[in-house]
Amino acid sequence: MKIFLVGGAVRNKLLNLPIQDKDWVVVGATPEIMIKKGYQQVGNNFPVFINPNNGEEYSLARTESKAGKGYNGFITWSTPDITLEQDLKRRDLTINAIACDEKGNLFDPYNGQYDIVHRKLRHVSSAFNEDPLRVLRVARFAASFAHLNFRIANETKKLMYQMAKNGELSDLTVERVWQETSKALMSNNPQIYFYVLRECGALNILIPEINNLFGIPSPAKWHPEIDTGIHTLMSLTMSAALSNSIDVRFATLLHDVGKSLTPPNKWPSHHNHGKLGVSLVKSLCNRWRISNSITNLAIIVTEFHDMIHNIEHQPIESLVDLFNRIDAWRKPYRVEQIAIISEADARGRTGLENIYYKQSRYLLFTFKLALKVSTKKLIQQGLKGIQISQELNKRRIQAIKKGLIKNMK
């Protein structure tokens, strides 16, 4: 019985990156041997055990064969005579198919170290195309390691394209798609994930709401980059620089989806695209079963983002109405989120990446002024029900106006 550290932990160690989780492979053992040694079995489809001393997962070396559609359509074998090389062969990328024994010796039958040095994301074997989830995983790794100059090998790109063309991706569950997408959104360069999926034909299958934006023009006066799909991913790039919140990054990704509903004869104008886009946001979030907090912010941003760009010219009454509609009094963090997303939208444009976006400062400043109005005082004065909300609106409007005048002096 031999135990090897495998996968991401070995890869990250070679890249001098933090190690998040450790996965272990056990060669030459059976479930009975593992249980006798005190390991706790948790896997049913294939033997996975928890080491009670460190809580880490130990899997018996195994092989797999495709027996059905989708991510779960596999038959696995785990016997004591399965070698480490056989186990590593079933993995997705060569950089994830390196093992390390307890003495620090590396076992690298598929040249993962070579690909680490040459910054290549390359599939281990032709078995790659048996698992459609690997298309998303490669796109995610491309996003996660783009800052280290990793690129997808041409032969792997071709295989990903063929998998998308063959319809394999349609068998993926929504849970798996969102799991990989959410991880990609939190990477250093989330835009790369969507570029990769589009290049191989997967974006149109999995996220048509984003894919449909490419090729749709916006006015050059406001969007020097013209293409709405390019602008969307430029905005996502900017949001990743401004925030590490998945809520913010996801809302940024979807803010312009309504432009896909503009009739071509109206291009490049996109009147009312914010409200039109709300239905698309709701549909995607329902399909992927995304949490309410992420969904609600995406809906708010999609509907109101254009208002923020000319917020200094909005009546103060409209500004207070906006705060009411986004439930800012109970959820004040939403104002800061919207400010960040609006800035990402404004700076996600060719040549405008470094502009000073004063609108976000105005939004935050006016909200701070409105917060000074005390609800408690109104209740103490005997106001009730709708009287409270009406008086609150009135006083908040007054507070903002007074604060702005004072700030101008």
**pLDDT tens-digit profile of 319-328?**
999 999 999 9
Cα separations (Å) of 56 from 38, 41, 74, 368? 13, 12, 24, 47
Q: Among 60-64, 103-107, 213-217, 269-273, name the one with the lowest average pLDDT.
A: 60-64
Four-CA torsion 327, 231, 179, 187, nearest 10 degrees:
-100
Q: Are 295 and 281 in contact (CB under 8 A)?
A: yes
pTM of structure = 0.92
At residue 29, does pLDDT exceed 60?
A: yes
**pLDDT tens-digit profile of 68-105?**
555 555 577 888 999 999 999 999 999 999 999 999 99
Burial category of 103 from C-beta neighbours within 10 Å (exposed 0-12, middle 13-18, buried 19 and up) = exposed
Q: Which helix (H) or strand (E) holds 24?
A: strand 23-27
pLDDT for the residue numbered 314: 94
At residue 400, does pLDDT exceed 80?
A: yes
Buried b (16+ CB within 10 A) or exposed e, 256-293: bbbbbebeeeeebebeebbebbbebbeebbeebebeee
CA 114/CA 8 separation, integer angstroms = 16
Say which residue, 409 or 126, is predicted with more confidence: 126
347 annotated to bind ligand:
no
At residue 140, does pLDDT exceed 60?
A: yes
At residue 66, does pLDDT exceed 90?
A: no
90 annotated to bind ligand:
no
403 annotated to bind ligand:
no
CA 272/CA 232 separation, integer angstroms = 17
Amino acid at 16: N
Q: How many CA atoms lie within 13 A of 176 on its CB side?
A: 15
**pLDDT tens-digit profile of 265-282?**
999 999 999 999 999 999
Say which residue, 332 or 406, is predicted with more confidence: 332
Looking at the DSSP bridge assignments, the partners of residue 152 are 121
**pLDDT tens-digit profile of 280-300?**
999 999 999 999 999 999 999
Four-CA torsion 347, 348, 349, 355, nearest 10 degrees:
10
What is the SS3 assignment for 212? coil
Once rounded to an integer, what is the mean pLDDT over residues 360-364? Answer: 97
Domain 1-115 has CATH 3.90.76.10: no
pLDDT for the residue numbered 77: 80
140 annotated to bind ligand:
yes
pLDDT for the residue numbered 172: 93
334 annotated to bind ligand:
no
Q: What is the mean pLDDT of the chain?
A: 93
Cis peptide bond upstream of 208, omega within 30: no
327 annotated to bind ligand:
no
Q: How confident is residue 45, by pLDDT bands cut at 50, 70 and 90?
A: low
Boundaries of every domain in the chain: 1-115, 249-368, 372-409
Q: How confident is residue 202, by pLDDT bands cut at 50, 70 and 90?
A: very high
137 annotated to bind ligand:
yes
Q: Which helix (H) or strand (E) holds 68?
A: none
